[in-house]
Structure 1
Amino acid sequence: MSDLQKHSQRTSAARAGFSERTARRFDADPTLPSNRKIVHGRTVADPLEGYWESDILPLLERDSALQAVSLLRHLQGLHPLAFPDDRIRRTLERRVRQWRALNGPERDIIFRQTPEPGRMAQSDFTHAEELEVTIAGQPFPHLLYHFVMVYSRWEHVAVVLGGESFTALAENLQQALWSLGGAPQEHRTDSLSAAFRNLTADQCEDITRRYNAFVGHYGMEASRNNRGEAHENGAVESQNRHLKKAIEQALILRGSRDFASIEDYRRFVDILVARRNRQRVTAVQAERAHLRPLPLRRTTDFTEIVVPVTRTGGFLVKSIFYSAPSQLIGQRLRVHLYDDRLEAFLGSTLVVSHPRARGRGDGHRVHVINYHHVIHALRRKPQALWSSIYRDSLFPRTEYAAVWQLLQRDLPRRDACRRMVDLLFTAHDRACEAELAHLLADDLAAGRIPDPGLVASRLSPRQTALPRDVAVAHPSLDSFDALLGARA
């Protein structure tokens, strides 16, 4: 106002540090802004006037879940001339949001909890396809079983090949408890999806009984969150995201997402999880003081199935054929079914072990064959190899399969079967599967048809003679007296 005595309005405003428009407003009304009465008013006409009360509000009061865009389409259907486009969408969304805040139904509130040491552990299965891990160049679809102690955030992670089965839950949960060194008071999952399956009534009841017996063995209480309420299992749900992000970063640092075997990938995950757990040592030590002691022994963490061994030299488990030694034909085996393997017992003796396979989904039966089980019978009937339904599952390595393709293409049927069976028998009889595979690869690279006799002559000779002189050092009897004295 002082500068206006000597300068123009524009210059005075510039010298005061604000715009000419502000200067004009001050000239028109010298009242201080803090003393002015704020007048709220609409600068444009309400586009929903005449429609909100009659057309929109009754629908919202009937069902508040209606979205603003659905209401807009409803208005456009009733009044196409008044609402030819989506110009009022933001206005309608704002009006609906304000109505819900003032008149909408009560909403659920998340009550955050203070974790107690040793009180609760949570388990969950999470899909890991986004990690894009491959095994020997092949895609590797799998799940990650994730166990988390709520108080200390100590975690245990396992690679699961199948689905969310009771076997996968029990086996990996048990491993987590023994790695932790104690059991919490309560174990929670997301609606127990790994323990309750939509099967027949008898099977569902059996799985429920087994799960209750499992947690009872460790003195834990079994609980589950309400369906659709993932935040009730929030400790493990949030850790799932952090875990997969940590694995993703470790894979980037590794420079490759391909692993030679499943065991190599599992070792990679175990090292990563151990590194994450080292950051929680103090909290874990405090929590271990409140854990229940572990029982004297582990409990059953597998599914048991009794199967007969048929004349075809194997048995069926979940529509998948597994081979067995021919001496077991006619016997009934107790099969312990784990997530990644199965073990078959005759009485209490382990007689067969196989990696577990899954169905293909195209109707074709999957065969898991150990050529050691059938090679003697096949050597007596080599021509059976040509049309055997599990021929392609018989070869232990890719080199053997490649040799069969060559023999099948370049030799008569009888000679091809005889040569292939002789090569497999050599690998079995001389326990040289890997060494023989390297020799076969050399023949394939050189374009030669492998000859069993020539290939066998190139193998390393077996050590059959025992060493003549074996030095045995006899301890003096005085040394035993010294041991007795130390014990006393």
Structure 2
Amino acid sequence: MSDLQTHSQRTAAARAGFSERTARRIDADPTLPSNRKIAHGRTVADPLEGYWEADLLPLLAKDSALQAVTLLRHLQSLHPLAFPDDRIRRTLERRVRQWRALNGPERDIIFRQSPEPGYMAQSDFTHADDLGVMIAGQPFPHLLYHFVMVYSRWEHVGVVLGGESFTALAENLQQALWSLGGVPHNHRTDSLSAAFRNLTSDQRQDINQRYEAFVGHYGMETSRNNRGEAHENGAVESQNRHLKTAIAQALILRGNRDFVSITDYRRFVDLLVARRNRQRADAVLAEQAHLKPLPARRTTDFIETVVPVTRTGGFLVKSVFYSAPSQLIGQRLRVHVYDDRIEAYLGATLVVHHPRARGRDDGHRVHVVNYHHVIHALRRKPQALCNSVYRDNLFPRTEYAEAWKVLQRDLPRRDACRRMVDLLFIAHERACEAELAHLLAADLACGTLPDPETLTLRLMPRHMTLPTDVPVAHPSLASFDALLGGAA
């Protein structure tokens, strides 16, 4: 306004730092901005006037879950000339959002909790396929069981081979409690819907009773978050993401995601978790003072079933065939089913154990066969090998399977079966499965047909001459008397 006394309006506006149009507006209304009343109003006509209250509000009042794009399509079907395109979509979205804020239904509120030491632990399963872990060159799809103490963030992680199940939960939870050295007052999980999938009502009831008996043994209360409300299990849900990120970073540092065996991978995960827990040592010490003591012994963390051993030399567990020594045919075994193994007992004696397998979705029977169980019967009937339903599961190593392919290709069926059975018998009788596999691989690489007699000679132990003049100093009996006297 001072520059306007000596300069033109354009020059005065430029010197003040705003446009000439703003200068004209200020000249038209000399009232100070602080004294002006701000007039709120629309600058353009409301495109939804006459349609919002008549056509849309009744629908929203009936069901507030309707989306703005659904309402727009409804308007376009009722008034195609008024709404030929999606030009008002953003306006409609803002209008619906404002209506929900003022008139919508009540929404849930997340109440942040102050953790109490020693009170709550949380368990969860999380998929780990995106880590890209491989075992012996093969992809390894698996889950991670994750146990977290809410107060100290102490964690335990278990590699789960199958899906979510009672055995996977109980076995890993029990291991976590004994590693922690105490028992929390409350154990929280999700709804465990995956563990009950494809089960009958009786089976669900049985697993519920087993779980209640399990936590009752440790004196824990149980709680579950509501279905679909993952934030109610937030302590372990957030740790899932951090854990998998830490494993992924450790795999990058390792330079290789391929492990020799599942045991090596489990050791890798255990070492990583131990390093993470060392950073929480002070909080864990504070929490352990509030934990309940462990019971005197562990409890059942498996599912037990009783099965007969059939004339086929094995038994069925969850539609999977497992072999057994032929002496057990006709006996009934108590089988303990774990997540990664099965153990079969005759009375109180462990007689059979196998890695656990899972059935296939295509209906084909899965076989887990230990050739030591059937080799004597197979040696009496070597021709049974050719068309045996579990022939491909009988070979203990890939070298034996490759040898069978070559023998089957280059020899008559009768000779191929007899020679392959003899190779398996040598591995069994001489306990040289690995050494014989190396010899088979060498013969196959040279294009030589494996011959049991030749391989037996190559496996013969080397004769060594033992020395005969080894001096032995015999102590006198008096030295023992002196020793006893000194002890007295």
TM over 0.5: yes
Q: Tell me which amino acid in the other structure corresponds to 2:24.
A: R
Contact 1:196 1:208 in 2 (8 A): no
Separation in structure 2 between the aligned mates of residue 128 and residue 405 of structure 1, nearest angstrom: 36
Once residues 345 and 480 of structure 1 are traced to their aligned partners in structure 2, the CA distance between those partners, rounded to angstroms, is 49
- The equivalent residue for 1:271 is 271
1:61 CA drift (Å)? 0.8
Q: Superposed, which structure 2 residues align to 1:79-478 within 5 Å? A: 79-193=79-193, 196=196, 199-459=199-459, 461=461, 476=480
- Count of equivalent residues: 484
Please give the alpha-carbon distance, in whole angstroms, between the structure 2 residues aligned to 1:358 and 1:195: 15
Q: State the Cα distance separating 1:456 from its structure 2 match.
A: 2.3
**In 1, distance between residues paired with 2:308 and 2:433?**
30
What are the superposed Cα offsets for residues 168-191 of structure 1, whole Å, 9 maximum, x if unpaired?
111000000000000000111112
Deviates more, 1:373-382 or 1:20-29: 20-29
Q: Provide the rounded CA distance (Å) in 2 between the counterparts of 1:480 and 1:425.
A: 55
1:166 and 1:194 in contact (8 A); partners too: no
Structure 1 residue 347 displacement after superposition = 1.0
Distance in 2, matches of 1:317 and 1:246, equals: 37
| Partner-residue secondary structure (3-state), 2:157 | strand
Measure, in 2, the Cα distance between the counterparts of 1:165 and 1:36.
Answer: 70
Specify whether residues 470 and 196 from structure 1 end up closer, same or farther in structure 2 by C-alpha distance, changes over 3 A only.
farther
Unaligned runs of 5+ in 2: none
Summarize the Cα distance change of 1:441–1:471 in structure 2 as closer, same or farther, 3 Å threshold: farther
SS, match of residue 280 in structure 2: helix
Contact 2:188–2:225 (CA under 8 A) maintained in structure 1: yes
Q: For residue 12 of structure 1, report the CA deviation from its aligned partner.
A: 3.4
- 8 Å contact from structure 2 (residues 308, 315) kept in 1: yes
CA RMSD of the aligned region, Å? 2.3
Moved more, 55-64 or 460-469: 460-469
Q: What TM-score do the two structures reach when normalised by structure 1?
A: 0.94
8 A contact 1:195–1:207 mirrored in 2? no
- Residues of 1 paired with 2:274 and 2:217: CA distance? 27
CA contact under 8 A between 2:160 and 2:339: conserved in structure 1?
yes
Do the aligned partners of residues 444 and 4 (structure 1) sit closer, same or farther apart at CA in structure 2, a change above 3 Å counting?
same
Residue range with higher mean Cα deviation, 153-162 or 128-137: 128-137
What one-letter code is carried by the residue in structure 2 that aligns with 1:260? Answer: V
Distance (Å, rounded) in 2 between the aligned partners of 1:187 and 1:103: 39
Corresponding residue number in structure 2 for 1:77: 77
Q: Which amino acid aligns with 1:410?
A: D
Letter of the 2:266 partner, please give it: R
CA distance, structure 1, for counterparts of residue 220 and residue 309 of structure 2: 39
Separation of aligned partners in 2, 1:323 and 1:192: 32
Q: Deviations over 1:61-115 (max 9, x none)?
A: 1111111111111111111111111111110110011011111111111111111
Distance 1:480 1:194 in 2: 68
CA distance in 2, matches of 1:40, 1:253: 60
Q: Give the C-alpha shift of residue 154 in structure 1.
A: 0.8
Distance in 2, matches of 1:380 and 1:146, equals: 50
Quick one: distance in 2 between partners of 1:79 and 1:124? Answer: 51
Q: Distance in 2 between matches of 1:392 and 1:184?
A: 48
Q: 1:157 to 1:480 in 2, by over 3 A?
A: farther
Distance in 2 separating the partners of 1:463 and 1:480: 44
Distance 1:477 1:8 in 2: 128
Matched residue of 2:409: which SS? helix
Deviations 1:123-157 (A, max 9, x none): 11112222222222222221111111111111111
8 Å CA contact retained: 1:127, 1:143: yes
1:410-450 deviation per Cα after TM superposition (whole angstroms, max 9, x unaligned) = 11111111111111111111111111111111111111111
The code of the aligned residue for 2:40 comes to: H
1:399, CA displacement in angstroms? Answer: 0.7
Using the size of structure 2 for normalisation, the TM-score is 0.94
- The Cα offsets for residues 347-388 of structure 1, whole Å up to 9 and x where unpaired, read as 111111100001121111111011111111111111111111
Q: Secondary structure at the match of 1:174?
A: helix
Identity of aligned residues (%): 82
- Cα deviation, 1:259-318, whole Å, max 9, x if unaligned, reads 222112211211221121111111111000000000111001011111111111111111
Structure-to-structure mapping, 1:29-48, within 5 angstroms: 29-48=29-48
Question: For the residues of structure 2 that align with 1:370 and 1:114, how far apart are their CA atoms?
Answer: 54
- Residue pair 2:163, 2:195 contacting (<8 A) in 1 also: no
Q: Distance in 2 between matches of 1:131 and 1:25?
A: 64
CA contact (8 A) 2:128 2:244 kept: yes
Deviation at 1:340, TM superposition (A): 0.2
CA contact (8 A) 1:322 1:367 kept: yes
Maintained 8 Å contact 2:128/2:142 = yes
Aligned AA (2:139): P
The range that moved more, 10-19 or 372-381, is 10-19
Change (3 A) 1:258 1:90: same
SS of alignment partner, residue 124 of structure 1: strand
Letter of the structure 1 residue corresponding to residue 56 of structure 2: I
Matches of 1:304 and 1:46 in 2, distance apart? 71
Aligned-partner residue type, residue 200 of structure 2: T
